[in-house]
Structure 1
């Protein structure tokens, strides 16, 4: 059983910078979730530097404890988690990197472990979600972003990037678009792009659409959409307004507060989460480091969703908490 390593009397800023002080382990037995860095940014179209996102998020996670008072749970009582380290990537070689990422994620998924992946630009969701689909079949995508990332690729020489991976997922069949939902789209996109994305089968909610709903209403809509299917949750940090996430490569004004985002994620308790990633943190554009701080707390909410799901399953089975975790 792996828990965050908070030593009594030792300050939170001391020690090796793993996510939330989780043990850095690559043995996969008795592991429920693994925080994994993916320092790849060759798919970026505007500003690069998200390769440094995983290390920045880990740095800013040092004060996060495993307890979530807002959700009424100590995640470490229900889950065994590790910081798996970073995936091997090949900067400049996107298709080769996709292949090796899928290979590295296969043993994670084969063990039933939920990867929580820290990017990196959003193009890396291509192998993340595809690897999940190899295990679970077509995946329901829950996508928080200011961009749909479902643009058709420009030509065969430039097939992949951080704006096209969900178009590929829809066309290749490993995303079940009929049970997928995208939220927060805004900015100066093509006048027809949102309709084209909906034609792929995605439910797409613009920022204006989302702002008309309460967090409870939005989450109810998401849960109805995905039902009990396997879900991959992907969160682009530019879903937040640039005031809250200046450190990103393609910011769009008029976005969401950190509080709004947390309420939306917390409201997803009960979905069948099989994987997630948090992408597009570009620390060099944010000397305050607030972008990475917000990203770290959002990633912790992913862990909380897993713990709540485990607790509900144990309660349904009549298993007491004390028996849920074996040392």
Structure 2
């Protein structure tokens, strides 16, 4: 994130909020509400009264230092750094890499030529950043649209194939087998299956509780941001708290729910979920129960990781800030 010139790229489909002016007015006095450790004493020998020109060391580029090591903060010196409110929609790409894929039983997932399949990779993402000067807090927010759907057996025209009792036959979503059904969209049959909207999410789905779980995980990092390239390094007195916020928006039959950053398809059951397709019940076998399924809330780590993928680009900017670890 470049604090001098914050990004203002409009996220799609989310529209950018009303513009806010950023001003790295380093020589202005700190906010009266700033935390005490931000201004221990302006008269101290190590105090920095000219933080605007304090970038004495050029931070390493992302290409030469793709994953900089967090640093442990030391006792801060007084610093006059200040910034007006910034609110902007950002876009970028996740830093998720490729990996050797495994099956549900944790064995190598092989291609027809016996080579191991490669999964993962980077994908585009959007999110919102809000900097609040009174509390020196940077909040990264993502709004996720949740659409309840089902995968059912169908003929080549998309008509449901009913069982002997006249009911539709639901099939658990499995990433490797059904990703193309999701890519084709609702109502487009493929390989004997079709995706269709449901009238509601299951009674066991509690998106409010899921929000609490995900945010508790994301905000447990106890890390802060300081000025990058700062000559006083870990003693930098500019300390910005980082907070993550996620909002889940339930969209029954793809109804309008306002602006959002990401769509998630919610199936009744999944054998292998992925970042874009979740299950209310998810296959999670253990030795004592190889056919075990667990609820959406019990798969918190999976969905937390998916949300991290959506907002992790906030840590990729090196021109003015560095992610650090507090004492």
Greater strand fraction, Structure 1 or Structure 2: 2
Q: Could you tell me the TM-score, scaled by structure 2's length?
A: 0.23
Q: Which has the higher helix share?
A: 1
Q: More relative contact order in 1 or in 2 (CA 8 Å, sep 6+)?
A: 2
TM-score (norm 1): 0.23
